[in-house]
Amino acid sequence: MSTRPPMSVPIARTSLTEAEVQSVLGPLRSGWLVQGPKVREFEDKWSAFTGAEHSIAVTSCTTALHLSLAALRLQPDDEVIVPAFTWVATANVVEHLGGKVVFCDIDLNTFNIDAEELKKKITPRTKAILPVHLFGLAADMGAISQIAKEYGLWVVEDAACGFGSRYHDKHVGTLGDTGCFSFHPRKAITTGEGGMITTNSSELAEKLRRLRDHGAAMSDLQRHTGARPYLLADHPDAGYNQRMTDLQAALGAAQMDRATDIITERQSLAKIYDEAFKDLDWLKVPAKVDGLEHGYQSYPCLFEPARVRAAVEARDVAELKSINETRNAWMDDLQKAGISTRPATHAVHMLSFYRQKYRLKPEDFPNAFAANDCSISLPLFHGMTDSERQYVISVVRGSRP
């Protein structure tokens, strides 16, 4: 007979204030449900918080990445360099436009793209780099921007997890040609589904605004508040419908009023975990890098780091598989104790579509493979209670498999 755990802690939990819930009633009562004044307000608040010159709200981070590459005019067979350890969407958008995904291995310390490896992937067909600020830690943007400049490449930042993440005082998403954010419920700010593109280029911003809205030269809001609302806009581009609704933006805009509190709370939770686990040599907590401010979209750890590094060094796939089995057994124990965990994310080159299309083996990107099999994210979310946090700490500390 199974016993119920004393507490159940999810990997993430959406926490909204009453004011945020109430704010969604605004568009419902006004009747303006589609992209309108609330989207504009959310975009303005996003620009103010990140320091980006332009923010363009869309339906998801995936569509933000897709629109960015479309606006930059990615052509079929153009190559785009993507880290091998990221959410599959980062690579999928390249496929959607007929481009070729060129995977690059990661640094196992940060889980982010390895800038040294990146340089080796450049060919005459390379058009863009898609660095990911994974889990809220900025990628090595100094090195990446330098490489991009040297080879004339675009940089589209995948900042899906990057809210509150800074690279030497600059918010991520403001360092490349565009930055793309996600508002999925596992992110610090959520609109259910949703995304935001940031850019400092007025030309790109204009193009992105058109492309998200069927290619229209003028938005519905501009037309309705302009002198001749009865005339339809011209459509200079064959665009898409990737507009965020005002219902979603009302929720996002309201959460932006406590953006700093949300980030501070997540950072202080991470600090408590860091302190609680610092003596565990079998669990490596998220990296801290000078000059980078972590936004802690999640709390990704590496299980048995010394064994993992030795196995990667020796290209010992069997040893990595053995560590993976122990990690999975540990995740099972934690689940039985009521604590939800996840692998930090997946190695995209190991997913069957990419493995088969590009004929890849797991060990082609050994660090991504190791991160796939040996990482574990612990519950971390704003609104987490003291007792939930203490429970996670005591169970993790007492449950080495």
Ligand X SMILES: Cc1ncc(COP(=O)(O)O)c(C=O)c1O
Q: Which residues bind ligand X (CB under 6 A)?
A: 60-62, 86-87, 89-90, 132, 158, 160-161, 182, 184, 195
Tokens 């990704």 correspond to 300
For residues 84 and 368, is the Cβ–Cβ distance under 8 A?
Answer: yes
User: What is the nearest approach in angstroms of ligand X to the Cβ of residue 103?
Assistant: 14
Strand order in the sheet with 166-167: 170-171, 166-167, 292-293
Question: What gap in Å lies between CA 292 and CA 294, rounded to an integer?
Answer: 6
Q: Residue 23: which residues within 8 A CB-CB, separation 6 or more? A: 250, 251, 253, 254
Question: Quick one: 7 or 88, whose CB is closer to ligand X?
Answer: 88
User: What is the nearest approach in angstroms of ligand X to the Cβ of residue 266?
Assistant: 16
For residues 144 and 57, is the Cβ–Cβ distance under 8 A?
Answer: no
For residues 300 and 111, is the Cβ–Cβ distance under 8 A?
Answer: yes
Question: Quick one: 23 or 86, whose CB is closer to ligand X?
Answer: 86
Question: What gap in Å lies between CA 65 and CA 67, rounded to an integer?
Answer: 6
Question: Quick one: 88 or 276, whose CB is closer to ligand X?
Answer: 88
Closest residue by Cα to residue 168 from 267, 289, 49, 262: 289
User: What is the nearest approach in angstroms of ligand X to the Cβ of residue 328?
Assistant: 21
For residues 215 and 238, is the Cβ–Cβ distance under 8 A?
Answer: yes
Task: Report the Cα 52 to chain-centroid distance in Å.
Answer: 17
User: What is the nearest approach in angstroms of ligand X to the Cβ of residue 312?
Assistant: 22
User: What is the nearest approach in angstroms of ligand X to the Cβ of residue 91?
Assistant: 10
Question: What gap in Å lies between CA 39 and CA 50, rounded to an integer?
Answer: 16
User: What is the nearest approach in angstroms of ligand X to the Cβ of residue 235?
Assistant: 25
User: What is the nearest approach in angstroms of ligand X to the Cβ of residue 89?
Assistant: 4
For residues 309 and 381, is the Cβ–Cβ distance under 8 A?
Answer: no
Closest residue by Cα to residue 308 from 114, 133, 111: 111
Question: Quick one: 63 or 395, whose CB is closer to ligand X?
Answer: 63
Question: Quick one: 114 or 304, whose CB is closer to ligand X?
Answer: 114
Question: Quick one: 156 or 337, whose CB is closer to ligand X?
Answer: 156
Question: Quick one: 247 or 323, whose CB is closer to ligand X?
Answer: 247
